[in-house]
Amino acid sequence: VLAAMQAHLDLLAAAAQRRAEDVVQVVGAALVDGDRVLVAQRGGGSLAGLWEFPGGKVEPGESELAALVRECREELAVEIAPQAFLGEVPLPGVVAGGEPGASTLRVWWGRIESGDPVDHEHTELRWVRADELEALDWIPADRPLLPAVRALLARL
Ligand code: 9L3
Ligand code: MG
């Protein structure tokens, strides 16, 4: 009986481990300069042409903020300093085999410490004011974060 229970526990632990690995977390950066925030138009894939806060997937074993800094370096060729957490939304369609809704997009306010953004992965980069945000054709996941970004721009 004990051996059977142990085998069952092992199976449960393995399943939990698999789920944890299937959950992909995505981070995005709302990079602010004065009264403007940097927005980026995706170049390829199913979301081509839509606007987003630049960023990407957190790699296994990587911290969220390390991923944020790395993604901005890779996509924009800038060094950033994360300032504060702005908000998170569920990210449908990113999980492969994990629980639906387990993945989230977490967006952080950041400042550019060095470099001028270059569109290494995007079709276009644009610095926009708070009143220009709504009209852009956003990735559905990013749009619910706009009030938080507008509130940030309003208080800076
Ligand atoms: N995604 C959505 N909004 C964002 C970002 C940075 C990413 N602001 C989605 C698009 C992809 C997934 O997350 O489905 C992974 O992003 P990436 O690694 O392709 O940039
Ligand atoms: Mg990306």
CA distance 98 to 18: 8
Looking at the chain, how many residues does it have?
Answer: 156
* C-beta of 95 in contact with ligand 1 (< 6 A): no
CA distance 39 to 112: 13
24 pLDDT above the threshold of 90? no
Minimum CA distance residue for ligand 1 atom 19: 56
Q: What percent of the chain has pLDDT over 90?
A: 76
ipTM of the complex: 0.99
* C-beta of 105 in contact with ligand 1 (< 6 A): yes
- The tokens describing 105, both together, are 């997009």
How much distance in Å is there from the Cα of 140 to the middle of ligand 2?
A: 15
* C-beta of 70 in contact with ligand 1 (< 6 A): no
| pTM greater than 0.80 | yes
Minimum CA distance residue for ligand 1 atom 6: 55
CA distance 97 to 21: 10
How much distance in Å is there from the Cα of 57 to the middle of ligand 1?
A: 7
**Rounded mean pLDDT, 131-144:** 98
The DSSP-derived string for 117-147 is ---SSEEEEEEEEGGGSTTS-B-TTTGGGHH
